[in-house]
Amino acid sequence: MFSKSFGIGMVVNVGIKVFSVALGIYSNRWLNSELGASELTDYNLIIAYTGIIMGLVNLGLPLIIQKFYTNDKTNDKKKIADFWTTITGLRLLTFIPAFLAILFSWTLSGTSQLSYIIAIFAFQFILLADQNYLAVYSSRGQTWKSSITDFCGKILLIGLLIAYPLVSGLIGVSNPLTYFILVSFIGYITIISSDFVWLKKYTPLGKFRLSILKKHKSSIFYLALSGLLISFYQNSNKQFLEFLGYGDQVNGFSNSFNLLMQAVVITGIILPQVSSLVKQKLDKKDVSKVGDWIKKVFKVDNYKALIISEWTALTAAMGVVAYFGMVVFGPIILKLIDKEGLYPVEFEVLPILSIFVIFNSLAALMTYITIFYDKEKYNFIAVAIQAILAPILYLAFIPQFGAVGASWAIVILSIIDFFLLRIPLLIKAIR
């Protein structure tokens, strides 16, 4: 179904990423242990709020980068250098409107901690910028390198968290949330610096050219709007819980939701690379043995349908494995994160949220392929429909069921997204 080297790379990538996710889980445990309930609630609300701001300025740049490196066949060094410099320059410029948005809208976060909002926004922006490098790794089939740099950065972060009693005294920072933000800066700067060095071959510097932005203006427009809407309906669930009277369930819901996002990271680190490979196979009309089997059994002759079917099956398998991993190991991990058992709703919502990873993985694969066919408009249509449905589902389920209702709303939305939006739009895009 896929080349031996690709299969080995994927296994290595997943293995490294699992260790990296374990480190991320430790940081969640540290926050639950060191922060009081109200301070942890502030942190969770701020992370959700800054996620919305990141969506505002994401502009879909990582997807544009991956599409460029996936589809470009010329290997023209000057062309690549100018493209990379232009997109990277635009990413740095987006810091300004994002910061202004923080200053004008921070009261919507549900907290009064402006200094923490700005600080957390800053290290979140570093992660946003690093997505540009991940896009290059994905297009080159080298996401395992990104997993290594991420792992090393988190090792440093976790080491500093473990050394909190010693280091905090040496640097004079006694507040645990302030300390966490500081060491997060150190860890994430380490990650992006490592990616910068490792990808110098593929990311040479050239000239900033407005003509490149004009060429991609349609993609930027639709992906920017899509990113903003996605960040809204994926991050606003905590705000809906807070504003609809279930603020006491925010921390428990956040623990399970953050664990879900860790599981999505494992599949998400693979899917961009898989989607680039699928696009290349579609361009070459390269049907594998699995596709030949599907052809014989289901009497399908369309090579596009065969290629997409075989890789959809692989993606579904990954999603199912991630689902069972969440159901089996999730409660154990939650007990490690919340060792005092302060937020019991986390165990109630986890098996519901776990369903999301299956349909999200399938929808993500089809989203990438659709965009690689220059159909960003179709992606926007799907996202816009979800953005309309999300608050309707939250308002329908949360007032009566709280965090459980929010979880079912998320799952229902993912099912609608895959079956009613992504499949029809992908078929339309590749015809």
Domain borders along the chain are 4-430
**E strands present in 68-145:** none
The pLDDT value recorded for residue 57 is 85
Instruction: Name the band, by pLDDT with cuts 50, 70 and 90, for residue 7.
Output: low
Which of 79-88, 229-238, 302-311 has the highest average model confidence (pLDDT)?
79-88
Q: How confident is the model at residue 1 (pLDDT cuts 50, 70, 90)?
A: very low
Per-residue model confidence (pLDDT) at position 173: 83
At residue 6 the predicted structure's pLDDT band, cuts being 50, 70 and 90, is low
Q: What is the pTM (predicted TM-score) of this model?
A: 0.79
Candidate from 108-117, 121-130, 392-401, 414-423 with smallest mean pLDDT: 108-117
In this structure, what DSSP letter does residue 340 have? T
For residue 36, pLDDT beyond 50:
yes
Distance CA 110, CA 49 (A): 9
Residue 288's pLDDT is 78
Q: Residues near 267 by Cβ (< 8 Å), separated by ≥ 6?
A: 315, 318, 319, 322, 357, 360, 361, 364
How does DSSP assign 144-198, residue by residue?
A: HHHHHHHHHHHHHHHHHHHTHHHHHHHHT---HHHHHHHHHHHHHHHHHHHHHHH
pLDDT band at 405 (very low <50, low <70, confident <90, very high): very high
- What is the predicted pLDDT for the residue at 12? 59
What is the structure's pLDDT at 426? 92
* Cα–Cα distance for residue pair 375/394, rounded to 1 Å: 29
Q: By C-alpha distance, which of 99, 50, 362 is closest to 232?
A: 50
Look over the chain and give the mean of its residue pLDDT values, rounded to a whole number: 86
pLDDT at position 9: 57
pLDDT at residue 146 greater than cutoff 90: no
Q: Kindly state the average pLDDT of the residues 363-392.
A: 92
Give the mean model confidence (pLDDT) for residues 107-128. 88
What's the pLDDT at 209? Answer: 93
User: How confident is residue 73, by pLDDT bands cut at 50, 70 and 90?
Assistant: low
Q: What is the pLDDT of residue 208?
A: 95
Under the banding of pLDDT at 50, 70 and 90, the label for residue 56 is confident
**From CA 146, how far away is CA 149, in angstroms rounded?**
5
| pLDDT tens track for 345-370 | 999 999 999 999 999 999 999 998 99
